[in-house]
Every structure is written in C-alpha cells, then in structure tokens.
Structure 1
Amino acid sequence: MYFKFKAYCFLIGFFFIGFQFIWSQDQKVADSLEIIYKKGQTSGIARLELLRNLSFNQVNDLDAYIKYAEELIMLSKAENNFLYLYRGYLQKGNAHRLAGNLDLALENFFMSIDAAIKAEYKEGEGIAKMTVADTYSEMGNSNNASIYYEKAITILRETDNIIALASALLNAGDEAFNTKNYELALQYFEESGALFKEQDYLIGTGYNLGNMGMVYAEQGKDALAKSNINEAIAILEELEDYYAISEYLTYMADIYLKQGNPAASLNYAERSLELAEKYGLKKQISESNLKLAELHEQLGDLPQSYAHYKNHIIYRDSFINLENVASMADMRTNFEVSQKQTEVNLLNQQKRNQLIILGFTGLLLLTLFWYYRNISKEKKRSEDLLLNILPEETARELKKSGKVKAKKFAAVTVMFTDFVGFTRYAESLDPEILVESVNFYFSKFDEIMETYGLEKIKTIGDAYMSAGGLEDPKSDHALRMVKAAFDILEFVKASRIENHNNFTRFDIRIGINTGPVVAGVVGTKKFSYDIWGDSVNIASRMESHSAPGQINIGHTTYNLIKEDYDCECRGKLQVKNRGKMKMYWVHASKNV
C-alpha cells in the first residue's frame, strides 16, 4: 500500500486571514497567526476562519492541530454554522489520521459528512466521503474504501472543484493498486494527472508522479519507476511535504535492491526512516523499519535487522491495533443510533417547552405589536446593512430565496494590497492605535473602490482585497482597477508626508491579476461574500512579488491595459508552487 494524496491540502480552497494566503500547509503561517489568536480580538466568522487556518497549518504539532479544530467545532455549534462545523470535524479527523488514530479519524469524518449535508455543501460532502474512503483503505478494508471513493467521485463530478475530483481519482487509483489491478490504477492516475496539470497544481502532480512510479515498480518497469519517483521527490522536497517522500523512498530502496545495489538501497531506506521519525509519522516509521530489517538481514547484519524489526512491530501495533479494527464495523451504526437518540431527547424537551411558551403568549403579543409599529424602519436598516456586506444583485437574491448560488465569472480583475512591515508593528503597537491606523487607510480605500465602481471583498489584518467585473456589465474593470491602484498609492504617499493625526504610517505593495473566478456567499448566520479560483491566487502572488510603492500585474491584465498605461516587463519570475510567471510594473498613464 502506498501514500494517499492528502485531501486536506485543498480544503482551504481560497480563504485567507492574517497576512498570507493559505493554499498548502505552512507552519510559518500558523506561527504568525498565533500572534493574532493570542490577542483574542477576533469574533464571528473572522474567529472561525482564524481557527480553521491555525489548525490547518499546524504541520509540526498534531496536538495543537486537534486543539484548534476542537475549538472550531465548539464555536461552529454555538453559531449554528454547519459549513464551519463540517470543516472543523474534517480537520480534526485529518489530525487523528496523521497520528494513526484511525478510529477517531473515521468518527470525525462521518460527522463531517453529516454537517456538509446539513450545510447543503456538495463539494464538502464529496471531500468528506473521500477521507472516509482513505481511512478505510489505511485500515485494509478495500471493499468499503472502493464504495466511498465511487460515492466521492460521483458527487465531485457535479461540482467545480477540479482539484478535489483529481484527488479522489488519484486515491481510487491507490485502491486499485492495493488489489493489484495495476492497469485500472494507471487509468485513474492518467485522468487525475491530466486534471492536476490542467490546474497547474504542483503538489498533486508530485503525488501523481510518485504513485505512478510505484505502479511501474510493481510492473518491473524500473527505469520508468525511478524517473517518476525521483521527479516526485524533487517536487515534494521543494514544497517541504515529507509525509509522502518517506513512502516513496522505501520504493526507491526496493528498486535499487532488485538492481543489485544494496548500498544505494540502504541509503534510501535510512532517509525514509529519518524523515518519518523527524515528523512523527507512525505508519512510515513502521514501514521504514521493516524495509531496513529486510535489508540488514540480506546484508548479514542480524542484530541490526532484529532491532529494526522490533521497532516495526512496536509502531505497527500503535498504528492499527486489533481492538480498533474490530470496532470499526459498528462505528457508523452506533453513530447514527446516537443521532436518533439525540432527536428523541430534543422532541421530549420541545414538549416540555410548550407549557412554558403558553405562559408568555400575552407578552409575545405585546412584543409583536411594538415590532410591527417599527418594522419599516428596521427593514430599511437591515437592507442597508446587507448592501454594505454584499453586492446589490447578490443581496437581492439572498432576500428573495434565503440563499445565494455560486456563480462563475469569465473575467474578473482582482487586486491585493499589503502594508510593508505591518507584522513588526502589530507585535509592538498598542492594539487601539494599530486598528485606528489601519482603519484610516481602509476607509479611504473603500471610497476609492466606490468611485471606480469596484467591489471591496474583504480585509484581513493588513490585507485589502477588491475585485472588478462582478455582476458588472462594463468590460473596462482592469483599467478601473489600475486607476484605483494609483489613487491608493497617491493617498498612501501623501499620508506619509502629512500624518496630521500622528498615526502609524506604512508603505504599500499592490498586485493585480485578471481571470476567471467563482463567487458566492459563505456562512449561515453571518454572511461573507467571497471569490475563489486560480486567478485570485495569482493576484496574491502578484502582490507578494511587488515592491513598496509599486503596482505589479500579471500578463492577462497587461494585455487589457497596455494601450492606456506604460508598463515595464519584469520577465518571468519564479513563484512558489507555480513555476515561472510573467510580471509587469505599471508606470504612468499614456493619456496624461
């Protein structure tokens, strides 16, 4: 059995909080977000998003991973927010799975499925069913794993999440490999590999290459196996994703052993064990020890062979023990029974509450009389508030149907701004002064967006995100966004010179990109309008590769504004997880 693609790598999709975007796990991000967490100044959706990203990025501390996921679950229940409840259970399940606690992982994944269904979130339901399949696979229950993979793939084919679909296909290929159906495994891998390549999703490509390499190794195609696995290891080392590398290294050890090179084989097996022990990966520690036991036995070093085999048994038993395996068959049934009992208890409580409610009928009638006298004013206030949160057309749809369908837009221009050196100030300044300073800037940015008919999406920490072309018939959103960016630069520059209120003053970086996005509303009690897609991620990369006082744009935006603005080609710059991308500085307008 070989490594599963980690479903939670893409669960964040495109959400951000604090100072960075979250696409793949990054302990540095978790460390920076803990500063915000400890200040305790977030609430509502912002708090849920903070906990979600803290849990997701705790790659070096599984206990912290679980702690933040549990707090996310608790707050989601209090907010009656099934979307975040789904995410909390999913991340808690992933943490237990990494720790080798498969019984707890499966329990949380089933809860995640139920929460996703209640949230009417098809994509999440598909992803959660994939994690159930992954867990059954790791337990050796190939039949249940295959059933849940088919369920996940069927659901995900109905969604727009190509990465999730590709991951389910990749893991279904793993299951075919486990049953030695190598041709079926390669079929799954070829489809998933094409989808990852289409989406330019580097980490998925890495796993796909590694898994294909291991199929080739089993088929005796050693040259193809080595080529694919070495390429996969190179990609995953760059991404600092060591969980799969440890597994792939044991296969490299097998290949070199078959080729009569025990020294190289031993080296790969030792590297596998070193990585597994460093990151506390029980399953990989067990398998690496077993491989080293076999190698030392063949080399005639029986004491070393025995020592490694003993460690293999210890970690194997801690990873999957017989009691947990026996209890798995009844877990789902027990879970559903407990849910029914909860419903019965709730019904009894409701009957008791009816008697209490009768006593308050008179008070309720008086309250309703007051309410209807003031309803017009309150309705106007709520509508104004909704328009401050959502675009006008989206707000109308929400009022009419109570929900908003996600929409695809073929061309939207996205801008990100970021204050230079903000993190350093955040750690040392009084919170009130810092908030006043940021509010000073963002209030003006809001005015600028309104002037050019652009949509503010959100602010997170010192990051400001806006978009043009959402539900807007005009096609000049790229030009309007660049004009707004220059107004922002001028305002920031003037503020640094004048500084009437002695606020903290910053310099600013700006990044812009144009392309397709998906937009929609998340949340049930507290709505949040957001946009997702690769175009958004590229816009973030444009900002992070910009410079103080500069506007950095992608190639698509350049083609839309080059007749109106002087632009300087920066060439192709290396971007993490993206390869090389063409970028441009935007200078003065040609029409001035």
Structure 2
Amino acid sequence: ILEKLRNPPPLFRPVVSPDYAPLECIQLMKQCWKEQPINRLGFDEIFDQFKNINKGKKTNIIDSMLRMLEQYSSNLEELIRERTEELEIEKQKTEKLLTQMLPPSVAEVLKVGGTVEPEHFDKVTLYFSDIVGFTTISANSEPIEVVDLLNDLYTLFDAIIGNHDVYKVETIGDAYMVASGLPVCNDDRHAAEIANMALDILSAVGTFKMRHMPDVPVRIRIGLHTGPCVAGVVGLTMPRYCLFGDTVTTASRMESTGLPYRIHIHQSTAKVLRDLNVGYKIELRGKSEIKGKGVEETYWLVGKEGFNKPLPVPPEVKS
C-alpha cells in the first residue's frame, strides 16, 4: 500500500461505500487525502467541520455506531423487501410451469409432498392426431426446420385447446394427445368439448403453412374415442400424468386408421354426440379393421350446426 501511495499514477485511494458513513463524513475524508498536501485539511479544520456535521452536538463513538446500525438496518429491510419480491416472482414462474406440465389439482398435491393415487374414470373422450407424411417431410427438411414446424403447429393447437374444457396429455413426435373428462369430471360434456376442439383444429390446419415449405400442405389425421380409463402420475424425475387402458389404445387406432383432413370417431363417441342432440353432423364410414379389436363400425365427424369456420376438403374415401 505504501509503495502504491508513493508511486502514482494511478492515484491509490480507499473506496468507501455510502453505507459506511454519512455523506458529509465521506466528503471530509476525501478532502483529507487530496494529492497536494497544501490542499489537505488541518486538524483544527477537521474538528470544525465535524462540529458543523453534528450541528454543534457532542458525539461519541457509541452514538456514531448506533447511527450506522440504524442506517444499516433500514438498508437491510429494503434489501429484504426487494429480494422477497424477486422470490415471489420466481415462485409464480415455477408454479405456472408446473401447472403447464401437470393438471393443477395434481400439481397442488405434489407441491405439498403428497402422493397422487391412480384414479379410474368411467367415461372420458380422447383425441389423437398426427401429421400424414411426417417421415417424408422430415427427410426433406433440416432438423431445425422440423422443430420449427412442430413448434408452430403445437403453439397453434395449444391456443385452440385453451378455449375448451380439455387437458393436453402429451406430444410424442408429431402425435398430439388431448383428453376431456379428466382429471376433473364434466358429466357428458367431454365428447362435445373434444369434438368442438377437433373441428377448430381441423379448420386451423387448413390454412397452416410451413415456414420452409409454404407450398406443401400439412395434412393431419384425427381420431376420437370415448370410454373408461385410468390416470396417474408416473415417475419422480420429470413426473408425467399418464393415461392407461383400452380407450387409449382404441383412440390411437382411430387416428392411425383414419384419413387426411378427416375426424375418425368410434361408435361410442358417435352415440354420446347423438345423445347430446346439439346438431353434430356424423356420417357412417362403414366397418373398419381395428387392430386388437376386430371389425367395428366407425364414423366421420364432418361438422356441426352453427359451426361456420371453413374446413379443408378431405380426399375422397375409396370403397
């Protein structure tokens, strides 16, 4: 330190935080270490200035310490308040992310350290969709272009499902899975909610364009099925809310045996929609071979009374 003081430049002086002393004292200190000795204050001048700072009052070291402690306490309270606000904002972000990954009711149980028991639902309606020719699109695209395609498409789907009483279960590659009637039961509205959502998604896909191949249409197949299933949380690291049962398998088969730009529905879903009697337009497809189920009659959902959004024209069904 002595060498640095003896051999400037640069000038070597202490760095004093404003929290350490009153501002007048810090300014007085700086006057005392001026570079030119003639400009520095003498002891009498320092004593006089201290009297001015203290307004003529006699002070001792204890008073100074108490004053500094009060100032430090005040600063600490402000710092704690700021940190608490920041912590609350981060907590809200974490909770929002958690409720996006799991149903809110399930997330609440996990947050308090509880376990989520598997639950059986008598009747739910499931939605599956995927992109027709996705393998070919992927083969002719860069990896980042495939990611952008799926991100754009699923962002569009996510915006649509927010308008319906449904729960997005998961996405696997180009497959998109949604359920209604769980984890919160909604009587027989589950089939209507999924049907309305499927029509909205099909309408939106009709005008969807890929960024890197705007002239190539994105055609999706949609399959719906209604029935019982079991739902529960699986895993500790990145827990997932998963559905199990024959209904899940059949809904997936309805999608895979469907056709582009069409909503393929099982007779169980068709029955619920007809019983609701709110104007769903359903056409008989005929008997279809469903893997693991045999031959069953299936239907097309082609519209609904009062649904005025344009739907893409599907290819003709070959007999």
TM category (shorter chain) comes to: 0.5 to 0.7
CA distance in 1, matches of 2:89, 2:211: 38
Displacement of 1:375 in angstroms is 3.5
Write out aligned runs for 1:222-237 (5 A): none
CA distance in 2, matches of 1:513, 1:558: 9
3-state SS, counterpart of residue 297 of structure 2: strand
- Which residue of structure 2 lines up, in the alignment, with residue 394 of structure 1? 106
Unaligned runs of 5+ in 2: 1-79, 308-319
Q: In the alignment, is residue 382 of structure 1 matched against residue 97 of structure 2?
A: no
Instruction: Say whether the 8 Å CA contact 2:121–2:229 is kept in structure 1.
Output: yes
Instruction: Say whether the 8 Å CA contact 1:437–1:505 is kept in structure 2.
Output: no
- Letter matched to residue 579 of structure 1: G
CA distance in 1, matches of 2:126, 2:296: 17
CA distance in 2, matches of 1:469, 1:462: 24
CA distance in 1, matches of 2:97, 2:264: 34
Instruction: Say whether the 8 Å CA contact 1:568–1:585 is kept in structure 2.
Output: yes
Alpha-carbon displacement from aligned partner over 1:355-389 (angstroms, at most 9, x marks no partner):
xxxxxxxxxxxxxx9xx755433322211111010
- Which residue of structure 1 lines up, in the alignment, with residue 239 of structure 2? 527
Unaligned runs of 5+ in 1: 1-368
- Letter matched to residue 539 of structure 1: A
Aligned mate of 1:585, from 286, 300, 305: 300
Aligned mate of 1:407, from 111, 115, 119: 119
Instruction: Say whether the 8 Å CA contact 2:280–2:301 is kept in structure 1.
Output: yes
Displacement of 1:551 in angstroms is 0.3
More helix, by proportion: 1
Alpha-carbon displacement from aligned partner over 1:415-446 (angstroms, at most 9, x marks no partner):
00010000112223100011101111111111
CA distance in 2, matches of 1:428, 1:505: 14
- Which residue of structure 2 lines up, in the alignment, with residue 493 of structure 1? 206
CA distance in 2, matches of 1:522, 1:500: 36
Instruction: Say whether the 8 Å CA contact 2:145–2:212 is kept in structure 1.
Output: no
- Which residue of structure 2 lines up, in the alignment, with residue 573 of structure 1? 288
CA distance in 1, matches of 2:152, 2:259: 22
- Which residue of structure 2 lines up, in the alignment, with residue 448 of structure 1? 160
Write out aligned runs for 1:259-338 (5 A): none
3-state SS, counterpart of residue 405 of structure 1: coil
Identical aligned pairs, as a percentage?
37
- Letter matched to residue 474 of structure 1: N
CA distance in 1, matches of 2:212, 2:173: 21
More strand, by proportion: 2
CA distance in 1, matches of 2:211, 2:137: 19
- Which residue of structure 2 lines up, in the alignment, with residue 344 of structure 1? none
Alpha-carbon displacement from aligned partner over 1:558-578 (angstroms, at most 9, x marks no partner):
011123212111222112222
3-state SS, counterpart of residue 474 of structure 1: coil
CA distance in 1, matches of 2:206, 2:175: 18
CA distance in 2, matches of 1:386, 1:582: 40
Relative contact order (alpha carbons < 8 A, sep ≥ 6): 1 or 2 greater? 2
The TM-score with structure 1 as length reference comes to: 0.36
Write out aligned runs for 1:82-231 (5 A): none
CA distance in 2, matches of 1:418, 1:500: 19
Alpha-carbon displacement from aligned partner over 1:397-416 (angstroms, at most 9, x marks no partner):
11123432111111111000
CA distance in 2, matches of 1:495, 1:488: 10
Query: Larger C-alpha radius of gyration, 1 or 2?
Result: 2
Instruction: Say whether the 8 Å CA contact 2:149–2:211 is kept in structure 1.
Output: no
Alpha-carbon displacement from aligned partner over 1:137-170 (angstroms, at most 9, x marks no partner):
xxxxxxxxxxxxxxxxxxxxxxxxxxxxxxxxxx
CA distance in 2, matches of 1:500, 1:491: 16
The TM-score with structure 2 as length reference comes to: 0.65
- Letter matched to residue 514 of structure 1: T
Instruction: Say whether the 8 Å CA contact 2:130–2:222 is kept in structure 1.
Output: yes
Once superposed, what is the RMSD of the aligned Cα atoms?
2.2
Alpha-carbon displacement from aligned partner over 1:241-277 (angstroms, at most 9, x marks no partner):
xxxxxxxxxxxxxxxxxxxxxxxxxxxxxxxxxxxxx
Number of residue equivalences = 222
